[in-house]
Every structure is written in C-alpha cells, then in structure tokens.
Structure 1
C-alpha cells in the first residue's frame, strides 16, 4: 500500500510539472558586444527588448494549423561609431543613432512544421529614441567612459516597419537529435528594408518547430505531443542579408538633414551560434553573432552577443 501511495504521489507531481501547458509568455532580450569580452564598443552596441506572447484558442483552427500566437513587444537599439566617445564628426565611421519602437506580431505554426510570422513596428529614429540618454545613464551607472559625439546623430524620423518571415523543416534525424530548417524574411519600412535567407542547424534534445522555444512556441496546447518535456540544444544559423535601406546609417528616407550619413553595403553575411534550454515554464537562450561590414566607410565587421530569458504562466 505504501508503495502504491508513493507511486501515485510521484505521478501527480510529474503531471503537475510536465502535463500542464501555459498560454502566456513574458520575457526580455538584451544584446551587447560586451557579452563577448572583446573590449569593443562599436556599431550595434546595445539592444534591449521586452515581449508578451499569448497562445490563441485552437478551437477554430484548420486541420493544417497546429498553433497560433500573438505578440506585443517594445525595444530600443543603439548604434555608435567604432567607439562611443568620438567627439569629431570627421573621425566617425558610422553615425550615432537610436531606434525606439513598440510592435505587434502574429505567428501561425503548421502541422508540417512550417512557421509564418508577420509583424509591425511603430516608433522613431533619432534623439526621440532616447538612445543618447540611455547610453549616458548606463555608462555612468557602471563606471564606463562618458560618451561623446551624439550631437551628430541621425535626426528624428517616424518609424513604420513591416516584416514577414517563413521557416520550414527540411529534415530531422530518426533519433530526433539533429534537424535542419530553412527560412526567409522580408522587411519594408522607413527604417529597415531588405530581405534575406538562412539555414538553421540544431543538435540536442529537440522539439518540433511548433513546440520549440527557438520559435517561441512552447505556449499553447499543441494537437501533437512534444517530442521532449524540455529542450536543450545547440544551434548554428548562417544568414545572407540583402540590404535595401537602413535609416540608422543613411538617415531619413525623405529629405534627410542629418549631419553625418553613409551608404550601406548591399550584401551582409552573418553567422549565429547559440545554445538554448527550455522547460515548460522557463527559457534561457544565449547566442553570438558575427557580421560582415554594413557601412560604406572604413568601418570594420562587427560581432555581439544576445541573452534571452522567458517565463510562462496562465494554464490553458
């Protein structure tokens, strides 16, 4: 009898930990070149983002759809020349610039492990982005150098940006420890316009794309059971970008009067390496990104790291 009671108790604990699903996810992401400990502080020097996601009731989904979610986000990106303390305009190899936005996104996860995501961001580029204030506050707080040269930053411009991406599983090994997927994206807006394609390689303890933390798809009830109760995998993602416009480098799309602008490199290649752990309740992801030159100047290539933390709540 004691053994039976123990078995039932452990079963209830297991169900409480693993069987439940959550419909909401909240978290943040931070990107900074300081994560690589290279002592560089240049170009895309800092990004901070917060997210709220919610799974949509699956009652009226078509047979082809596994899951749908929507997302609300806000973020700030900060750009500087090769250093955040370049007081003379003629010494700057990239403009100081900031981008502040709020946005929304809608994702559809299909049974065939393809993912369609559309999004819109509204915000501003320029002093109204508060990037200068943010960098000065951050550096003062942690005892870094005092930034200089922000008076030459990209001028204020209303930001309206649309984006769409599509990912599709290409192959997965029979033991479910390695898979390969392809993706493409397109951006159109007053700040960022362009398109690109990538290949994602994952290795480790994986779930289907519609249940995976990589696509922020842990929330919600899936029609198909997840391959694993938790995920832990390494990933590699080479991506080729075609850049049509970048207001943080080129200034306003309409009648720009910024004191310093440059042309953009039309082709930019980036390589991303990362590791992801996800349980039913939590996700932690760390990655590093290496990019080729983005600016038509003496600017060099750049690299930075990103850290994401997410927490899920609200049982379905």
Structure 2
C-alpha cells in the first residue's frame, strides 16, 4: 500500500527547473546549453465529470542555444545559430486516475529581449569561463504566440507493483516552435514496490491534492523516451543579425530524446535529477548525440 498522510494535503506548488550541460560534464557548453523555468501550480475542482481534479499552471522560462563551441564569431563555422527564447505559458491539466489532458497558451520572444546573451555570460562568470563573443550573429527578434497540448494515458499500473508504463504525447504550435512528440514513460521502484497513480505523482507533475486525495511518499527511477517531428524551429532556421555568406541552417525533421531521472519527495518538497540524451536537431551539427543534465525542485503548500 502506498504510504500516505491525511494531514499533508497540498494544493499549491512553486518550483524551478534548470537544464545545463555542465550538470553532466564540466567540459560541455554546446547547442542547448541552458534552460531555466519557474512555475506555479494550483489544484482545484473541475466541472467535467470525467476528470477528478484540475491543476492550473503558470510558467515563465528561458532557453539558450549556441554552436558546439560557445565562442564562434563567424557564421561560416557555426553548426547552429546563437539564439535565445523567453516565454510564458498558461495551462490547465485535467486529471483522472487513468489519464491527463493538458491544454494551454504560450507567448515568447527571441533575440536580445530574451536575455539569453546576458544570462549565458552571467553563468560563464559564475563558473570562471570566458564570455561568448558570437552573440552579434544571433537569430533576429521574433514574437511567438500559440497553443500547447499534452495527453498522457496509463497503460500499466498496479498500486503494489514496482513498474508502471504510460503513453505520452505533446504538441506545440506557435510562431517559433511547432512540433509533435509521442513516446513512453516508465517508472520503477524495486525497493519498496509501490508507485503512485499518474493522477498524484511527481513523475507527471500532478503531486498536488484536492478533495479526498492524500499525500503519497515517492522515491523511484523514471525514463521518458519519445520521438519528435519538428515542423518549425526559428531558433535554427530564423534570419540572423549578421550573415555575410548567407549560410542556411536546416532542422532535422525527426529527433529522439531519452530522459533518465531519479525522483524523490517529502511532504512539502519535490526533487529530481535527470540525464537527458538527444539526437541532433540541426542537420549541420557534427555531433549525432547531445546530452545535458536537469535539476528540478519545488515546494508544496
């Protein structure tokens, strides 16, 4: 039986997610080099009989991209452009014990208004790394507005069984990013042989309680493996500020990502550490596989 606590119900959550290749190697500073996301969630009731609860989520984040070497001043030698993307999302997660349906809206901006150049040089200063000198060639300013969606379905789950399997699907549609993804999510806990349902688990970002739900203690390993079809990515194909040779970059239509993570929570805190492997998403990249780390932390109240 999953360990619960009737006095630890939490309906709100604030947290952050930080992606960086320095979390897997002190020598990497390439491609998707840093990501920062801050979020707030609130669990509420829902008017739809098919779903047991709803989680509202507000998110603001920043993604930073650069060539394999973060200090390439000439576009001719760049394998992908310098680019920054600052965004804000609002989404609603409709949840029951078998599935999660997420619908939301997003806005964003590239170029200097994204703050990417300043953020990267601040990080470099913190780690005593020389500043990047290629940002004057970055992708030009572009605003984004669009929608996002996610559908997750539990395929295999038993309360006292140490393994669960789910089907995960996501879609983004906006002026900068348009893509669709599909894959599987696996959790395993061979020590205690217990896992929470997808409706109340840190693995799916649903570990907030509403109504009769109880807090469930979790500590397990997880894998999310999915393929993505890229339709548009303006951080790759967008027009550059400086491009004297008129070099073009091309997206790789199909990519594959594998996220290996360890997850742990207490009554009021969630923590997870991930190592993420991705196939290249730009045809000009020489490296076929890239990797980075991710640290996720949140406080529930």
Q: TM-score, normalised by structure 2?
A: 0.91
Q: Indicate the residue corresponding to 2:27 in structure 1.
A: 39
* Shift in Å, 1:143: 1.1
The ranges of structure 1 where at least 4 consecutive aligned residues each deviate by more than 6 angstroms after the TM superposition are none
1:72, 1:268 → 2: CA distance?
28
Deviation at 1:287, TM superposition (A): 0.9
In structure 1, C-alpha distance between the alignment counterparts of 2:161 and 2:266, rounded to whole Å? 17
* Deviation for aligned residue 1:137: 1.8
Q: Does 1:85 align with 2:71?
A: yes
> CA–CA distance in 1 between the matches of 2:236 and 2:31?
10
Distance 2:248 2:268 in 1: 45
State the match for 1:288 in structure 2.
Answer: 275
Structure holding more helix per residue? 1
1:309 and 2:294 aligned = no
**1:272 deviation in Å?**
1.1
Contact 2:36 2:62 in 1 (8 A): yes
2:178 is equivalent to residue 189 of structure 1: no
SS at match of 2:79: coil
What is the aligned partner in structure 2 of residue 98 from structure 1?
A: 84
Q: In the alignment, is residue 167 of structure 1 matched against residue 149 of structure 2?
A: no
SS at match of 2:125: helix
Deviations 1:217-272 (A, max 9, x none): 1213254556xx301110112111000010110116xxx87635411000001111
CA drift at 1:276: 0.5
Match of 2:208 among 192, 205, 219: 219
Which residue, out of 51, 60, 63, partners 2:39?
51
Equivalent in the alignment of 1:65? 51
What TM-score does the superposition give when structure 1 sets the normalisation length? Answer: 0.87
CA distance in 2, matches of 1:203, 1:142: 35
Contact 1:18 1:280 (8 Å CA) reproduced: no
Cα offset for 1:210? 0.6
1:269 aligned onto 2:251: no
- In structure 2, the partner of 1:19 is 7
Alignment-derived partner of residue 152 in structure 1: 137
Distance 1:89 1:168, change over 3 A: same
1:154, 1:261 within 8 Å by CA — same for their partners in 2? no
d(CA) in 1 for partners of 2:36 and 2:248?
Answer: 24
Structure 2 counterpart SS, 1:210? helix
Aligned length: 291
Q: Out of 165-174 and 188-197, give the one that drifted further.
A: 165-174
Find the aligned partners of 1:174 and 1:146 in 2 and give their Cα distance.
51
Unaligned runs of 5+ in 2: none
Aligned-residue RMSD, C-alpha: 2.0
